[in-house]
Chains A and B, each alone.
Chain A
Amino acid sequence: MTGMKFSQTCDRDRRVGGYGLHVAAAIVALAAASGAAQAQECQVKLGAMGPMSGGAAAWGLALRQGVEFVAAQANADGGVQVGDRKCRVSVMSYDSKYSAEGAASAANSMASDNIKLIIGPVGSPEATGAKPVAQRNGQITFNSSYAKDAIGPETPLAFHQLAGPAQWAPKIVAAAKQKFGIKSVVVVAPNDQGGTDVASVNAKAYEADGIRTKQEYYQRGTTNFAPLVTRIMNENPDAVDTASSPPADGATMVKQLLEAGYGGVFGRLGGPGTLEIIKAAGGVKELKNFYWLELVPTEDEKIVALQKDFKTVMKADAPNNTLLYTAAAAARMVLKAVTAAGTADDAPAVAKALHNLEPVDPYLGKGTWKGKAAFGIQQELVFPVGLGLIVDGKSLGVTAVDLADSK
């Protein structure tokens, strides 16, 4: 060991001149390279934050793919205009684990990577954790939480990626009441914030329409819903709304309700996974009567076009989760705002540019800024949503519901 060290030292002594030359050359080369990089390439960094492991992973992964899709499209067009330069868009993603501290920690990690523009987080606990930290760090976030305080005047850098239940619940409920003549409903959701945020707003919308409403909350992690189904059967409601319960839970509930002989209408205002529910029921015919919310009008030709473009650009099928579309729209708005503000590092300037931008998206169409009434700050990015209907065992497809005139 010692011998080796000795010989190395000798070696170095002899070559010291050569060393110096090498180092000098390397420094020159590095400087030249970085200089060139600065001239040709600059970078706009977007963050994608959401749950990418655990029970809500489908959401976070879809959100990430939405942001990556927009970045890939922008780069294929030569980058995003920032001042007088064209910049490449890069995406960094972080798993915020559907928890407050996961999201707070993700926001800090992104801050140290100098990411000021974040699409996400997804869930309510995450939004609760990320908002104050991102505000402190000077980062824009675009969360998709359904919490009553998803955004607010005290965090002016926090934006809302999509319309909340306060926007769509009254419209969908009215349509469902008219279609199926519902007089009573049970709204079911998990007992944590992801459930109560949506179910309570849905319940209010049903009650406002004169529908007798009962709320049922089950413990998150329940796998067998037979007891809950018996409880619902005792109520004998006209409709059961599975609200924001996770796809697996909603599917099991519908399957077990049908087995118990439930003959009423099914509703799903808040959660994705209608495909799983139809499959679990054994098909459209068995499900019979079903109304549900889609975050976007999924059968619109422009949405179908996005799926095609996604496949071309990303070389993979678009994920089923509709958060893909709203995340992509938010990312696109942010990039436009970067161009308008002439900077990607100054979050308040980008936020200001966002306020002045008319929400238009090549796939989602014309939107509006909302949120003043529900949150006290006009930072909710609202595009038309979709209302899906199955009536008497026949699928009527998904129709667009414009929310421009809602509160």
Chain B
Amino acid sequence: MDGLVTTAIIGLSLGVEYALLSLGFTLIFGILGVINFAHGGFYMIGGYAAYAAVHFAGMPFPAAVATAMLVTALLGYVCELLLIDRYVSDHLTPMMITLGLYLIISTALIVVFGPEPADFSFPIRGSLRSGGIYITYANLIVLLVCATVIAAVYLLMYRTDFGLALRAMADNREVATALGMRPAQYFPLAFGLATGLAGLTGALVTPTLTLSPFLGDSILGMSFLIVILGGLGSLGGAVIASFIVGIVEAYSRVYLGGSKGALALFVVVLIILVVRPNGLMGRIGRPA
């Protein structure tokens, strides 16, 4: 019984982390129509920026996390403006650009910080415990912050003019442009917001696990899987998919273990997609 509850807690905390991670990915997807291959790269930059802020600038952890978010958001903004913006109308060219960016980011992190994992851990240790069931304080804090940020993103998208404009862009770029909204203004902002969210997740989550320059691939794979499963560009779908993936992953890895657990997760996703070809809450497909 304890095992079942502990697994559920693991699944939920995985779900919340995945949700924050994939919000950024789905924003870029929905609004720009770009598969951002550098998403895992920005996650790592977030982690290393927070690490550098704590270890070299002596910042307190919360300030370091905020700095990391700002740094990644700014980097994302600049990358969009300089590299991606001109090619947004094509879907494949930005994909190649972000792939190139990702390779450059990983290389730069290895060269600057070395290939070994960085010495970066959450400032608070210990766990909340009741019998065999437990959750670490670190995870609890991450969970609360993630939930708050997700709520904030929701409010931003559905209760502000900025959000309305972004959603209009996502729904129909031509109409939105005809109504006087300028993509040139909104695209870099949307991209920066998304990479900032990735950076924030990296800064929060990597100290509870391990910060190394090789996390990008699996982070990208996971975000991609969740966002598509949720339905293209749907914020609600991404959140629901995050929890489904988190729970399925937790139970399959605990009770099936290793390769079989991973296999179970992929098969579940495959079945869902075959039954619902546009994802859980998706509209019609956008061309690749």
Residue contact A252 to B209, C-beta cutoff 8 Å: yes
* 14 A/B residue pairs, CB under 8 Å, sorted by A: A217-B258, A217-B259, A219-B259, A221-B217, A226-B10, A226-B14, A227-B253, A228-B254, A228-B257, A230-B254, A248-B117, A248-B210, A255-B210, A259-B127
Which candidate, A2-10, A117-125, A275-283, A363-371, is the interface stretch facing chain B? Answer: A275-283
Chain A proximity mask over B1-44: 1 for CB below 8 Å, otherwise 0: 00100110010011001000000000000000000000000000
Residue contact A230 to B6, C-beta cutoff 8 Å: yes
Residue contact A191 to B259, C-beta cutoff 8 Å: yes
Interface size classification for chain A = 35 or more
Chain B proximity mask over A267-295: 1 for CB below 8 Å, otherwise 0: 00000010010011010000000000000
Cβ of B249: which chain A residues have Cβ within 8 Å of it?
Answer: 227
Interface residues of B (CB under 8 A from A): 3, 6-7, 10, 13-14, 17, 106-107, 110, 114-117, 119, 121, 125, 127, 129, 134, 136, 209-210, 212, 214-215, 217-219, 221, 249-250, 253-255, 257-259, 261-262
Chain B residue nearest to A189 (CB atoms) is: B258
Partner of A216, one of B110, B210, B221, B258: B258
A109 at interface by CB-CB < 8 Å: no
Chain B residue nearest to A191 (CB atoms) is: B259
Residue contact A230 to B110, C-beta cutoff 8 Å: no
Residue contact A216 to B219, C-beta cutoff 8 Å: no
- Complex Cα distance, B17 from A223, in Å, reads 12
Partner of A230, one of B7, B209, B262: B7
Chain B proximity mask over A207-222: 1 for CB below 8 Å, otherwise 0: 0000000001111011
Residue contact A223 to B219, C-beta cutoff 8 Å: yes
- Complex Cα distance, B120 from A251, in Å, reads 11
Chain B proximity mask over A232-258: 1 for CB below 8 Å, otherwise 0: 001000000000001111011001100
A395 at interface by CB-CB < 8 Å: no
Residue contact A231 to B214, C-beta cutoff 8 Å: no
- Chain B interface main SS type: helix
- Complex Cα distance, B233 from A350, in Å, reads 62
Given A55-B214, A191-B258, A230-B7, residue A221 in contact with residue B115 (CB < 8 A): no
Residue contact A259 to B116, C-beta cutoff 8 Å: no
Interface residues of A (CB under 8 A from B): 53-55, 57-58, 61, 191, 216-219, 221-228, 230-231, 234, 246-249, 251-252, 255-256, 259-261, 273, 276, 279-280, 282, 320-321
Residue contact A223 to B209, C-beta cutoff 8 Å: yes
Residue contact A227 to B259, C-beta cutoff 8 Å: no
Chain B residue nearest to A188 (CB atoms) is: B258
20 new A-B contacts, CB < 8 A, other than A247-B117, A280-B121, A321-B116, are: A53-B110, A58-B114, A216-B258, A218-B253, A218-B257, A219-B258, A219-B259, A219-B261, A221-B217, A223-B209, A226-B13, A227-B10, A230-B254, A231-B255, A248-B210, A251-B210, A256-B209, A273-B116, A276-B210, A282-B125
Cβ of B215: which chain A residues have Cβ within 8 Å of it?
Answer: 223
Report the 10 A-B pairs with minimum CB-CB distance, sorted nearest first. Answer: A227-B253, A221-B218, A58-B115, A248-B212, A217-B258, A57-B115, A55-B214, A248-B117, A219-B262, A248-B210
- Complex Cα distance, B262 from A54, in Å, reads 22
- Complex Cα distance, B211 from A255, in Å, reads 13
B117 to chain A minimum Cβ distance, whole angstroms, is 4
Chain A residue nearest to B265 (CB atoms) is: A219
